[in-house]
Amino acid sequence: MLDNQKYLSDFEAKKMICEIGRRVYAKGFVAANDGNISVKTGPNAIWATPTGVSKGFMTPDMLVKVDLNGKVLAGKLKPSSEIKMHLRVYKENPNVNAVVHAHPQAATAFAIAGIGLDQAYSPEGVILLGNVPVAPYATPSTQEVPDSIAPYCKDYNAVLLANHGALTWGRDIMEAYFRMESLEHYAMTVILTKKITNQVQELTCEQLTELIKIRENMGIKTGGTLTCRTDSPERPDGQTPGQAVQEADKQDLIQTIVAKVTEEVMRRLPLGH
């Protein structure tokens, strides 16, 4: 099978990994030596972050080149022990050319709680991310981790790692990074909305359908399915607008009937009474 992918050069890939490393560190998506980043530069070549190095202070000479089986092809340092997770994404989804793993606080809070982001709350969340499921808990750095994420690599754009962090991927390094940034922003927005108002309103299924069409027109075929609202927004009294109208019509009908019955009773009363 011919490989028609357009890859970054080794120089470009290493430069971009260091840039994204500075961004995730500056935003607080990682602490100390947490997280890892990789970019595919050929059918069987990946540049990745090394183990034991802060993502905010990397230089290109620190990075490691490996093949799809994890064999080191270039570089003086050892690859991250979590490189297996990245390699599994590449093997499961040939359209992926970059992977980002981090521990952003809001998204990780959902991961620790075991709660996926599977409800349609905002257009940005639907279009940029879609459904973000929670992969089963797996011991870090073991084969359990790539096995836990394998079912999600083809149909989704991101996954929460139970009690651990988040993983995003994309057709290029910027898409993979922006998905991580969007994931954290979305997770924080949901947390704040629930904390401040104690309620979050889903988009309607009709609205969700329109957003998915937009997403597909952007060339994004992944994202999974989200839950949506099948009825109209509720009123403060707990009724939907449709229910409120029906109730008002019912009351009007009752009043009309009562008035007509009263009129008929009065008409039939003997004169003088």
Asked if 96 contacts 90 with a C-beta cutoff of 8 angstroms, the reply is: yes
The SS3 assignment for 158 reads strand
Q: How far apart are CA 6 and CA 255, in angstroms?
A: 73
Which residue from 32, 37, 36, 35 is spatially nearest to 16, judged by alpha carbons? Answer: 37
Q: Compute CA distances 260 → 3, 109, 246, 269, 273, whole Å.
A: 81, 62, 21, 14, 20
In what helix (H) or strand (E) does residue 134 lie, and over which residues does it extend? strand 134-135
Is 82 one of the annotated active-site residues of the chain? yes
Looking at residue 56, what DSSP letter applies? G
Annotated catalytic residue within 82, 175, 181, 184: 82
The SS3 assignment for 229 reads strand
Residues 6+ apart with CB under 8 A from 228: 119, 120, 202, 203, 204, 205, 207, 208
SS (H, E, C) 174-197: HHHHHHHHHHHHHHHHHHHHHHHH
- What token pair was written down for 240? 């939907």
Asked if 241 contacts 232 with a C-beta cutoff of 8 angstroms, the reply is: yes
- Active site residues per annotation: 82
